[in-house]
Amino acid sequence: MHFAVTLVEPVKLREGAAKEDAKLSEFQEELVEMAAVLNGDLTKDIYPQQLVDGLNVSDGAKYVEKAFKRFCDECDKARKNGVDDSEIICLEKPATTRRASKSFVHKLCSCLACDNN
């Protein structure tokens, strides 16, 4: 047996229209930073401060919505592929840059400095 539930209309918290072009508040910046973690952007050089610098409310909301949608889509895909529900889905991409190999002199100086044999 199903029962229909009717929710009350939420109380409006804001008197006027949203200020879409306004600078992000500290709380909104934190929401964007959390979305960046979901989206895998925490590994980028712009995380966290440069990510939110220059974003207005509208751009921040779009970024959060896009990141959350991407995360949910990846969770759905993982579930369809048989990944256990307790598995944590990470969207970060591994770094593709290769570390330059150290020269013999650099390796030797490193060993002498730390006294490892």
Tell me: the pLDDT tens digits for 21-36? 999 999 999 898 888 8
Which token pair is 21?
A: 């072009």
Distances from the Cα of 38 to the Cα of 21, 101, 112, 113, angstroms:
25, 32, 43, 40
Residue 41 burial (10 A CB sphere; 0-12, 13-18, 19+): buried
pLDDT tens digits along 46-65: 666 777 888 899 999 999 99
**Is residue 59 a contact partner of residue 31, using CB atoms and an 8 Å limit?**
no
Whether pTM exceeds 0.85: no
Given a cut of 70, whether residue 116 has pLDDT beyond it is no
- Tokens 């952007």 map to which residue? 41
| pLDDT at residue 80, rounded to an integer | 92
